[in-house]
Amino acid sequence: MTKKTKLIIAALAALLVVVLIAVNRNMTKKDDERAQKQQLTVLRGTKETIYEYDETIPEYQTFETQMKRKNGDKFDKEYSGIELRLLLADMDIPVNNDTEVTVICSDQYEIVLTGEEILTEGNIYLVTRESGEPLDEESGPFMLVVNNDEFSTRWAKNVVKVKISE
């Protein structure tokens, strides 16, 4: 392969990367804008639905969870939100033990949850408030709280999309 051919291939590869970055940025921008309006993108198969988050519904609740630091110290945190199982039920999306739900954040970080985890009452929440105040910009507007996760390693900030696989 000649030097000229290698340069052309490298230039095409760089162009492809730039195009993919632009497409990805455009897609995430739409999800971020929806989240700022308290809207959550829910993807089931190829069908995309927008969930209008409403803090006035009875399912929206305040709860306490206990967090544990690596040194063993425990402390309580108060959040307000809706259980993911109730949110999905409100959208007529069935969840069973074989269901897999992927929660996607604005930085494309993903957390995969099992149907069993979601169906466990009081376990998986999408929250909008901490200690009665709206989540700060770094955490919200939506944050995933996995109540049964002792060290909060599977919690996720800036949730923008929920994808359901059956």
For the chain, domain boundaries: 3-165
DSSP bridge partners of 78: 64
- pLDDT for 88 equals 95
- pLDDT at position 36 over 80: no
Structure confidence at residue 117 (pLDDT): 94
Location of structure tokens 């259980």: 83
159: its two tokens: 């949730």
Mean pLDDT value of segment 4-8: 80
Confidence of residue 14 (pLDDT cuts 50, 70, 90): confident
**Residue range 47-61: mean pLDDT, rounded:** 90
Neighbours of 51 (CB within 10 A): 19
pLDDT at 3: 81
- Reported as a single tens digit per residue, the pLDDT across 95-150 is 999 999 999 998 889 999 999 999 999 999 999 999 999 999 888 889 999 988 87
Question: What is the reported pTM?
Answer: 0.78
Helical H runs in 37-128?
A: 84-90, 115-119
**8 Å CB contact between 77 and 130:** yes
pLDDT digits (tens, 9 = 90+) for 83-95: 999 999 999 999 9
Per-residue confidence (pLDDT) for residue 91, from 0 to 100:
92
Provide the 10 A C-beta neighbour count for residue 95: 21
Sorting pLDDT into bands at 50, 70 and 90, what band is 32?
Answer: low
Architecture of domain 3-165: Alpha-Beta Complex (3.90)
At 37, list the tokens: 């309006």
Instruction: Look at residues 125, 137, 130 and name the one whose alpha carbon lies nearest to residue 162.
Output: 125
